[in-house]
Amino acid sequence: MKAAPSPNSIAIAAEPAVWVIAPYRQGELTQVLALAEGLGWHYEVKTLSYKKMEWRSNLFRGDDLRGVQRLQSDALTAPWPDLLLTSGLRNEPVCRWIKSQSGGRTRIVHIGKPWADSDYFDLVVTTPQYRLPPHANVLQNDLTLNSIDGDFLQAQAQRWQPAFKHLPRPYIAVMAGGNSGPFTFGAKAASRLVAMSTALAKEMGGSLLISSSSRTPPEAIDILASEQAVPQHFYRWRAGDSDNPYYGYLGLADAVVVSADSISMLSEACATGKPVYMFDPGAGKYAMRQPNTLRDEGNDFRLTALLYGALMRWGAQRLSRDITLVHQRLIDSDRAVWLGEAFTDQAVEPVADLSRAVSRIKALF
């Protein structure tokens, strides 16, 4: 007769129960869902509603539900999950509370920048701009997580090719972001992006596929939409639009230009394996890359950008992020160059950030 398996072996053999505590920012939600899909385990998404003025739990790293409007939120009741996937300051006390209710059995995986110490989590999956110190529980990826792979891109290309068949190839996708920390993307930056992208399209003899994003200011959108010097297709971003051609652009593009304020769009562009050109919205001392020879008169003014720059220089590191660290990592690894510079022909290793995170999580079990 076979001996009965131990409780531990039963727990290991069973597929872990997974909850996604939904982040309240779209970029973080996209990353967490990509990780949940990458694991291949069944998961539930828990969407929470938060009290606007609750700060005690967050500030003092509590483990309670004081900040949650429970009647407007998904239920958080037993049986408790084996794994929590989450991101965002407000979700941290909730995840600690769930782990406490499970008797410490639940593992917490946090994406991005945690506000509590890394010891509060079983794993933190982060990127260079957050400047987290080395820790056994911290996985430093080069880029943010996403679900882009070859099959997905091929399907998107097949879907959107008929809409662009009248445009000459090669296609150059141009992805515009918006204001980010100390960097401002306004009318002056948009004009330079149009001019430099047009020059690249003329050099290659191709067309531009231009898209704004949720963060692109209206004055910048108007300039992007006015480009007529080369054949082009322009998409004006709309919330919840099922016909957004963004991924079609990535699938069809022969090269991608991304305004470097958006780490998520840079990550998705690099996941395609195609040449990626980073656009610097700043000039002179306000540029992302230094030294920069463009005159300071090429900058858009934004007071909050100056205040954020001062915070980065004189404030505590955990209160800000430095996206230029990601830019340098991409350049050093030959995954991207600045727009206007030559792209190398050197072979680049495929982006493996998602598979690396999946492996670390499965090792927890």
Q: What is the C-alpha to C-alpha distance for residues 152 and 166, in angstroms, rounded to an integer?
A: 23
- What percent of the chain shows pLDDT beyond 90? 72
Q: Distance (Å, rounded) from C-alpha 362 to C-alpha 87? A: 19
Number of Cα atoms under 13 Å in the Cβ half of residue 168: 7
Q: pLDDT for 47-96, tens place per residue?
A: 999 887 766 655 556 788 888 899 999 999 999 999 999 999 899 999 99
Q: Evaluate if residue 8 carries a pLDDT over 50.
A: no
Domain coordinates in residue numbering, the chain: 7-126, 150-351
Which region among 35-44, 238-247, 249-258, 307-316 has the lowest average model confidence (pLDDT)? 307-316
- What mean pLDDT is predicted for residues 180-187? 89
The C-alpha atoms of residue 297 and residue 299 are separated, in whole angstroms, by 5
Give 67's Cβ-side CA count (13 Å radius). Answer: 25
What is the predicted pLDDT for the residue at 294? Answer: 72
Read off the pLDDT band of 1 (50, 70, 90): very low
Tokens of 321: 């992020």
Residues across the chain: 365
Residue 292 is given by DSSP the state: -
Residue 272: closest CA among 158, 143, 137, 149: 149
- The predicted structure's pLDDT at residue 353: 94
- CA separation for the pair 87, 22 (Å, rounded): 8
Q: Which CATH number applies to 150-351?
A: 3.40.50
- Examine the pLDDT at 20 and tell me if it is beyond 80: yes
- Two tokens, residue 317: 């590191």
| Bond from prior residue into 81 cis (ω within 30 degrees of 0) | no
Closest by alpha carbon to 253, among 236, 225, 232, 238? Answer: 232
pLDDT, one tens digit per residue, over 96-118 is 999 999 999 999 999 999 988 89
Q: What is the pLDDT of residue 60?
A: 55
Whether 150-351 and 7-126 are alike in CATH topology: the answer is yes
- Report helix, strand or coil for 75: coil
Q: Which residues pair with 68 in a beta bridge?
A: 50
- CATH dotted code for 7-126: 3.40.50
Q: Which residue has the higher pLDDT, 200 or 347?
A: 200
Q: How far apart are CA 346 and CA 162, in angstroms?
A: 32
Sign of the C-alpha dihedral, residues 122, 125, 127, 129? negative
Average pLDDT over residues 281-288: 87
